[in-house]
Amino acid sequence: MTKQDAKTTSSADDVTFGDVEHQLPAAASAIDELVAAAAPAPADQAAIDDLQGADAAAGQDHETAVAKDRATAAALMDRVHEVQHVVPTGVSVNAEDDSKMKEPALKVPRVDAVRPPKLDLPEVVTQHILTIIAHEDTLEFVNAWPTALLPPAFLSLKALGGVVNLDDHWPCIELFTIPDEHKRLALTALPAFPSVKFDVDLAWRTAERLAVTLRELIDALRLVPQLELTWIEGDDAASHATLSDVVNAWSDKVTAVMFVSSLPLTYPTVREALARCVNLQRAYFQGTYRGESATLEQCVEAVTTPAHLHLHSLSVFSEQEYDANGMVAWLETPRAKALTLSCLNVRCNGCLAKAIATSTGLTSLSIDIHNDAWLLLDALGEYDLHRLTDVDLYMSLCAFDDLIRVLRRLDADRVTSLYVSGLPKPTPKEFKVVLARFTALKVFRYDQVSYDQESDNE
């Protein structure tokens, strides 16, 4: 390269990057101010030491000063962001920034790009305390704290407890059952709750009815530790769009899903959403139309992939014959803990019975087969069922002998909860003899069936 070429290249660089260089001193100055404001001075440490012996009034003055310092630091950080936005990095902060960029920015497939959420230490500690105390003591515990010491989310929780019954919303708040006039207050209190139940179908309807946007509802979930999603499958495109937006933003927070299928899965949205929720712990699927067995099986397969390492509870309710292949595969993993199955009949009773009996982690089992229940009970009676501790069995009158066989296969010293449905009237003596073996029972329920009427007994 000649000297003339080097000079020409240097001039071009000056033209390209000149504007950016003019902005860098301002960015550096703002960052220096922020660091200076955030760095503790020796005098501050001395003040903290003196504060330990001061009275409550002095402590509150100190907190006020700290709050002002935080506000100043936040303002400086905003200035830094304003300066940084001028530098074309190619990464979009939000849609408004995209319109101001001269070069095309990278797009993020979400409702909005949200900065990484953080809970202050007092909020984290308080939230942990509330998760370990009794549910009925939650509001009393919050009310006992001085208002000046409560983190913002818990101030909102305290106010919310004055207008709704928190016993109905703790530890999982059902957001869309909160009255409309208190919905915004509930949104500000969300970080105080261990979990939030989010109804996808009600979310977009609430956004239409109230002066809130769907984006506000979704962004309000950023500090929530866990999400429980519920929705009913229909042909409403708005519901599918809402489901996609929530899962795109917070799929890692979703620990439970409840999906009721009233129509075949004509959209891939549901399967894709379930596949992305890899931190699922509980899944509930119900079909309410003829031919829904295939839909339910697709849902089960979507949440039992190798990536779903935390699913310990699976419930399936079908009104048709059910193909339990996906369920069998899940039972073969050590993470399977609780299984509930209700259907017309099972396509392969032997395969399911073997998977239940040989599952190394399964401890809770609920079986309700409407037709030919004896087939599955008969298959279960072939195996040792000593790992089960919580058992619900629904049977027909013709399956009594198979029921007795299954009960004898259980470890009577380990079963703590037992529910038997469909016992004939009067109670057979053989059942009483078998029941007497269960010495560890804490909960026992049964109902009896006669040829002309039904009655429940507990």
| Separation CA 192–CA 62 (nearest Å) | 25
State the pairing for strand pair 364-369/338-343: parallel
The residue behind tokens 């029972």 is: 441
3-state SS, residue 365: strand
Amino acid at 399: A
Residues 6+ apart with CB under 8 A from 328: 348, 351, 352, 355
3-state SS, residue 342: strand
| Separation CA 66–CA 57 (nearest Å) | 14
pLDDT of 86-105, one tens digit each?
A: 333 333 333 333 333 333 33
- Residue 95 is predicted with a pLDDT of 35
- Residue 55 is predicted with a pLDDT of 44
pLDDT of 187-244, one tens digit each?
A: 999 988 889 999 998 887 777 677 677 888 888 898 888 999 998 876 677 788 889 9
DSSP of 102-141: SSPPBP-SSSS--PPP---HHHHHHHHHHHHS-GGGHHHH
Beta bridge partners, 385, equal 410
CA 375 to chain CA mean position, Å? 36
- Residue 145 is predicted with a pLDDT of 76
Beta bridge partners, 199, equal 230
| Separation CA 142–CA 146 (nearest Å) | 9
CA 19 to chain CA mean position, Å? 46
| Separation CA 178–CA 186 (nearest Å) | 8
pTM of the model: 0.69
Mean pLDDT, all residues of the chain: 75
3-state SS, residue 438: coil
| Separation CA 21–CA 43 (nearest Å) | 37
- Residue 70 is predicted with a pLDDT of 55
Count CB neighbours of 398 within 10 A.
Answer: 12
| Separation CA 122–CA 136 (nearest Å) | 22
| Separation CA 205–CA 176 (nearest Å) | 10
pLDDT of 45-69, one tens digit each?
A: 444 455 444 444 544 555 565 455 5
Residues of the chain below pLDDT 50: 2-4, 6-28, 30-31, 34-48, 51-56, 58-59, 66, 73-74, 76-119, 121, 451, 453-458
Quick check: 400 and 373 in contact, CB under 8 A? no
- Residue 239 is predicted with a pLDDT of 82
DSSP of 147-180: GGGS-HHHHHHHHHTTTS-GGGTSSEEEGGGS-G
Quick check: 241 and 273 in contact, CB under 8 A? no
